């Protein structure tokens, strides 16, 4: 807020609201802030992991059905993040581990 020293809030589709992190650090295990916003840095880090997973899926040397399954999971994880970021992060971690096993 100009001159007010307040923290700006960014509205995104799906009702997700982000605000800048005060410390510059990610807070492990934190859900939405008390006012319904989420740490922007945490959201951006999650978004970067989604992009990397999408690239790995595209580059994987696997049958089309396997790739399609991974793509559906990635979409579901992305969609679920607006409801429960902690759950979506755990699901993405499992998908990343599976992608790692398939090289």
- Among 1-5, 13-17, 58-62, 79-83, where is mean pLDDT lowest? 1-5
Cβ atoms 18, 10 nearer than 8 A: yes
- Burial of residue 43 (CB within 10 Å: 0-12, 13-18, 19+) is buried
Tokens of 92: 């993405």
Q: Is the pTM of this model over 0.85?
A: no
Tell me the torsion sign for CA atoms 76, 78, 84, 90: positive
Residue range 30-84, pLDDT digits in tens:
444 545 556 788 888 999 999 999 999 999 999 989 999 999 999 999 999 888 8
Residues 1-8 have a mean pLDDT of 42
Cβ atoms 74, 56 nearer than 8 A: no
Tokens of 64: 């089309």
């Amino acid at each position: 807020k100009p001159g007010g020293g307040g923290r700006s809030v960014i509205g995104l589709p799906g009702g997700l609201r982000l605000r800048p992190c005060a410390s510059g650090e990610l807070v492990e295990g934190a859900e939405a802030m008390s006012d319904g916003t989420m740490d922007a840095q945490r959201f951006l880090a999650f978004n970067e992991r989604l992009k990397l997973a999408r690239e790995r899926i595209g580059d994987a040397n696997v049958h089309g059905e396997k790739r399609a399954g991974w793509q559906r999971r990635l979409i579901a994880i992305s969609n679920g993040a607006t409801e429960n970021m902690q759950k979506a992060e755990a699901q993405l971690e499992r998908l990343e581990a599976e992608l790692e096993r398939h090289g």
